Amino acid sequence: PENSVANIRVCQNKGYELYETDIQRTKDGHFVIIHDPTIDRETTGSGSASEMNLNELKALFKKFRDGSKSQHRVATLEEFLVEGNGRVVFKADLKPGVNRYFNEIMAIVKRHQAMNGIVFRVPYRDADLLEAFRKNGVVFEGNQMMFMVSNKNQVDDIRQRFDPTTIQVNLRKDDPTDARTIELIRYANRKGFVVETHAEGTEDDWRVLIGAGVRIFHTSKPAKMKSFLQQMDRPPDA
């Protein structure tokens, strides 16, 4: 099931280098891996993870994508870090409100010696908050941050303040390869970033994005994307 501990091995076995996680905080202060604002779609329960204690969530079962019940339970961040250690890099989204607990999350990451196994994808608007955490003694490296940006000024600011390895250029779903987006991708490349985007549009759009400099795709259809990339790698007469 989505966001389950068992799915980490599936990710590794299929050769996917990054695994997206979604971190939420329970009512009693534990961090769990849940995507949606409610748990209704992903579990046999209902309601919000932030309004439930961990033992209440652990009593539930995860659902498969078709809605059927699995035997897997809601995972905690710690369980993910233990299972994924040395196997996969997590790209973690901090769901609304969770960013203010960033110091607690980093303490868990450090305790499990997983500093090289997680990248936090965060909106540009959180840059000031994360800088404040760092000034207050929370230790993290720039390459653990993947900021989502929409213009050149944001690219420059993130480079100056955090000097990360990767950056996400936000796309328009209705026109993922418009001229402004392509120029922003190229600009981020020139500034030394490895660029990620969402895999919006068609395969033709993906080719344009790759040509502009995209090297990481965020996608809900990794098998399709992997097949596409393998076809691109083949010589024309293969």
Q: Which of 38-42, 138-142, 214-218 has the lowest mean pLDDT?
A: 138-142
pLDDT exceeding 90 applies to what percent of the chain? 92
Phi, psi of 205 (to 5 degrees): -65, -40
pLDDT bracket for residue 25 (50, 70, 90): very high
User: What would the pLDDT profile of 53-111 be if each residue is shown by its tens digit?
Assistant: 999 999 999 999 999 999 999 999 999 999 999 889 999 999 999 999 999 999 999 99
| Helix/strand/coil for 93 | strand
CB 31 within 8 A of CB 20: no
Provide the mean pLDDT of the chain: 95
Please say if the pLDDT value at position 238 is more than 60: no
Number of residues that make up the chain: 238
What pLDDT is recorded for position 235? 65
Entry pTM? 0.92
CB 217 within 8 A of CB 198: yes
What pLDDT is recorded for position 168? 98
Which residue in the block uniquely carries the two structure tokens 């981020």?
Answer: 188
What pLDDT is recorded for position 233? 80
Of 197, 218, 184, 175, residue with least CA distance to 16:
218
Task: Read off the DSSP letter of residue 125.
Answer: G
Task: Read off the DSSP letter of residue 3.
Answer: T
* Tally of helices (H runs) and strands (E runs) in the chain: 9, 8
User: For the purposes of burial, counting CB atoms within 10 Å of the CB of 209, is it exposed (0-12), middle (13-18) or buried (19 or more)?
Assistant: buried
